[in-house]
Amino acid sequence: MSSVTTDKQEAALDPAIARAIKSIADEAPQRETTDGFHLVIDALKLNGIDTIFGLPGIPITDLTRMAQAEGMRVISFRHEQHAGNAAAAAGFLTQKPGICLTVSAPGFLNGLTALANATTNCFPMILISGSSEREIVDLQQGDYEEMDQLAIAKPLCKAAFRVLHAQDIGVGIARAIRAALSGRPGGVYLDLPAKLFSQVMDAEAGKHSLIKVVDPAPAQIPSNESVKRALDLLKEAKRPLILLGKGAAYAQADADIRALVEKSGIPYLPMSMAKGLLPDTHEQSGAAARSYVLQEADVVLLVGARLNWLLSHGKGKTWGADKGPKKFIQIDIAPTEIDSNVAIEAPVIGDIGSCVSALVAGMGSNWAKPPAEWTGAIAERKEKNLAKMAQQLAARPSPMNFHSALSVIRDQVKARPDAIIVNEGANTLDFARSIVDMYEPRKRLDVGTWGIMGIGMGFSVAAAVVTGKPVIAIEGDSAFGFSGMEVETICRYNLPICVIVFNNNGVYRGTDVNPSGTPDVAPTVFVKNARYDKLMEAFGGHGVNATTADELQKALAEAVASGRPTLINAVIDETAGTESGRITSLNPATAKKK
């Protein structure tokens, strides 16, 4: 049978004619075809995307196999939320959208938390989910995992698209990439109904349907007026402060930012994920005098930082409201962020690299440094806090407390500044933020704007996969519980990740008691003296139970040196710490007591 005639038709034909038809068919150039699966893979690869974080299942299992066969790295997780967190962290670290691939309905829903968190944190990622057929969903006819995923995703992300025809896959992927990266980065949803993958089209036409995205995050140059207005304000300031946010870290304008700080001589304060843009030991860092610099500054330059809850919305006691008004300069790529909480005297709209370099150029060569009275007062307060901290870090209580355990990690990071820190928890987060100094940009990934638990293992896998550097995950025992099963993922890919679980037997602490007299433990208490290290051993990784700072130091140094997947169960005094760490005041009951 040729591709032109069937057996039955051939039998009816005159043999000479049948031979002629067959020879024409056989000699016709074999026009190749492609399909939806390969168009998705080709579109991603065409745009320099080489890694997919996901979890196989109907209807995307074959897509994962084909992507791997086509040379893409496919990292399979145990829960889609962590695959999504990995995609988001990969986006933050690389300025390319991280890709999270999930099955339909429940898998898609599991990915939504990460998609929403990425959007909130301005991390570029694309959640690609298989889905049910439109015609069935729209008639609500009860398909396998039927759900109107596009409608559900839209409010939680920057943009959302659906592709119904193979020839549109190139456009769909291109639009998702541009939406994730342009302007304020964020999460994008791409809905691919199951039938799309098996659609076939001419290979040549398919190739031409793909789009290589040109300049998805173009430079956004600030106006000369805005730069001059900002510089005039800084010139007249008596107590200026530069506040660096994670947008400044994401922008990868490290040299410009360092020049801005050092040329101006202005003290700076890094938000948690901006730590390391300049070494935390830098003499202009005001981090160890945070309350003082926020209360006393008269002009504040925000660089990729929002005046949201983390900065008390730019108001009240945190900002020394009783000491007179502050003047804010704000550099941001999102114009609508300006005036979101308080009036911004000098908005500078553009990408951070362009804005900061324009400010540095505008400073000229004889910029006057801030008054010594201001920098001297900061130094004095820093000295007091640093001395108090040094005493706390030197102590070696038994069992360990947060300070003694974190002093070990602090020393390890000082020795290996290329290591990446992932940090989540309450006390474990808040103490680590001020104790573990960072020395290089984009080396600290944490709970970010939402303060969300569960980012730990996903962020750790992404950091290890995209950088190849050693990763130290500093985990509260409660926080670790949200993504602990991904320890198997870490072992499966043999990633250089050392997870340190700060085990104090519960959420916040392990000391709460059930007042009712029933056998149930209090809601915030875990199994006492649990051995999280055994979980790592269960999958072939290395587990250590560390009861002293010396044991922790030895295990951590070996883990970082070996690159072997390791989990250290750090036994922490269950009475150490406070409810919710440094944000205890957000608990309504606590707030009422005030």
In terms of DSSP H, where are the helices of 145-253? 149-153, 169-181, 194-198, 203-209, 224-236, 246-250
Residue 446 main-chain phi, psi, to 5 deg: -145, -160
Interacting partner of 582 out of ligand ADP, ligand FYN, none (Cβ under 5 to 8 A depending on kind): ligand FYN
* Cβ closest to ligand ADP, residue 301 vs residue 498: 301
Interacting partner of 250 out of ligand ADP, ligand FYN, none (Cβ under 5 to 8 A depending on kind): ligand ADP
138 three-state secondary structure: helix
Tokens, residue 532:
């999280």
- How would you write 365-405 as a 3-class SS string? CCCCCCCHHHHHHHHHHHHHHHHHHHHHHHCCCCCECHHHH
Tokens, residue 478:
């409660």
Q: DSSP labels for 408-423? A: HHHHHHHH-TTSEEEE
Stretch that binds ligand FYN, among 127-135, 176-184, 286-294, 405-413 (CB under 6 A): 286-294
Residue 251 in the binding site for ligand ADP (CB under 6 A):
yes
Among 453, 499, 544, 559, binds ligand FYN (CB under 6 A): 453
Q: Show Cβ contacts of residue 248 under 8 Å, excluding neighbours closer than 6 positions.
A: 257, 274, 277, 303, 304, 305, 352
Residue 429 in the binding site for ligand ADP (CB under 6 A):
no
Interacting partner of 352 out of ligand FYN, ligand ADP, none (Cβ under 5 to 8 A depending on kind): ligand ADP
Whether the ω angle into residue 59 lies within 30 degrees of 0, i.e. cis, is yes
Interacting partner of 453 out of ligand FYN, ligand ADP, none (Cβ under 5 to 8 A depending on kind): ligand FYN
Residue 318 in the binding site for ligand ADP (CB under 6 A):
no
Question: Nearest CA to 375 among 231, 470, 237, 486?
Answer: 237
Among 56, 57, 279, 451, binds ligand FYN (CB under 6 A): 451
- How would you write 234-281 as a 3-class SS string? HHHCCCEEEEECHHHHHCCCHHHHHHHHHHHCCCEEECHHHCCCCCCC
Among 269, 305, 445, 572, binds ligand ADP (CB under 6 A): 305
127 three-state secondary structure: strand
Q: Minimum distance from CB of 307 to ligand ADP (Å)?
A: 8
Tokens, residue 445:
């990934």
- How would you write 204-232 as a 3-class SS string? HHHHHHCCCCCCCCCCCCCCHHHHHHHHH
Interacting partner of 326 out of ligand ADP, ligand FYN, none (Cβ under 5 to 8 A depending on kind): none
Burial class (CB in 10 A: 0-12, 13-18, 19+), 225: exposed
* Cβ closest to ligand FYN, residue 145 vs residue 430: 430
Closest residue to ligand ADP, judged by C-beta, is 247
Interacting partner of 454 out of ligand ADP, ligand FYN, none (Cβ under 5 to 8 A depending on kind): none
Tokens, residue 588:
């309504």
* Cβ closest to ligand FYN, residue 288 vs residue 355: 288
Each residue 321-360 as x (binds ligand ADP by CB under 6 A) or -, in order, gives: -----------xxx--x-------------xx--------
Amino acid letter for position 208: H
Among 68, 385, 449, 553, binds ligand ADP (CB under 6 A): 449
Residue 167 in the binding site for ligand FYN (CB under 6 A):
no
- Please report the beta strands in 406-463, taking only residues with DSSP state E, as ranges in sequence order: 420-424, 444-446
Among 247, 425, 458, 506, binds ligand ADP (CB under 6 A): 247
Each residue 122-151 as x (binds ligand ADP by CB under 6 A) or -, in order, gives: x-----------------------------
H/E stretch holding 66 reads helix 61-69
Each residue 561-590 as x (binds ligand FYN by CB under 6 A) or -, in order, gives: -------------------xxxx-------
Among 51, 113, 272, 548, binds ligand FYN (CB under 6 A): 272
Measured CA to CA, the distance from residue 68 to residue 91 in angstroms comes to: 20
Interacting partner of 42 out of ligand FYN, ligand ADP, none (Cβ under 5 to 8 A depending on kind): none
Binders of ligand FYN among residues 310 to 349 (CB under 6 A) are 310
Residue 413 in the binding site for ligand FYN (CB under 6 A):
no
Q: Minimum distance from CB of 580 to ligand FYN (Å)?
A: 5
Measured CA to CA, the distance from residue 332 to residue 350 in angstroms comes to: 6
* Residue keyed to tokens 């829903």: 109
Residue 161 CA: distances (Å) to CA of 9, 209, 289: 45, 17, 46
* Cβ closest to ligand ADP, residue 175 vs residue 275: 275
Among 430, 477, 486, 488, binds ligand FYN (CB under 6 A): 430
For the chain, how are helix, strand and coil distributed in percent, rounded to 5?
Answer: 50, 15, 35
* Cβ closest to ligand ADP, residue 118 vs residue 571: 118
Measured CA to CA, the distance from residue 27 to residue 332 in angstroms comes to: 62
Residue 438 in the binding site for ligand FYN (CB under 6 A):
no
* Cβ closest to ligand FYN, residue 33 vs residue 524: 524
* Residue keyed to tokens 């938000």: 271
Tokens, residue 417:
């500044």
Among 39, 248, 288, 405, binds ligand FYN (CB under 6 A): 288
Please report, as ranges, the residues that interact with ligand ADP according to CB under 6 A.
121-122, 184-185, 245-247, 250-251, 271, 273-274, 304-306, 308, 310, 332-334, 337, 351-352, 449
Q: Which residues bind ligand FYN (CB under 6 A)?
A: 272, 287-292, 310, 385-386, 389, 426, 429-430, 433-434, 447, 451, 453, 580-583
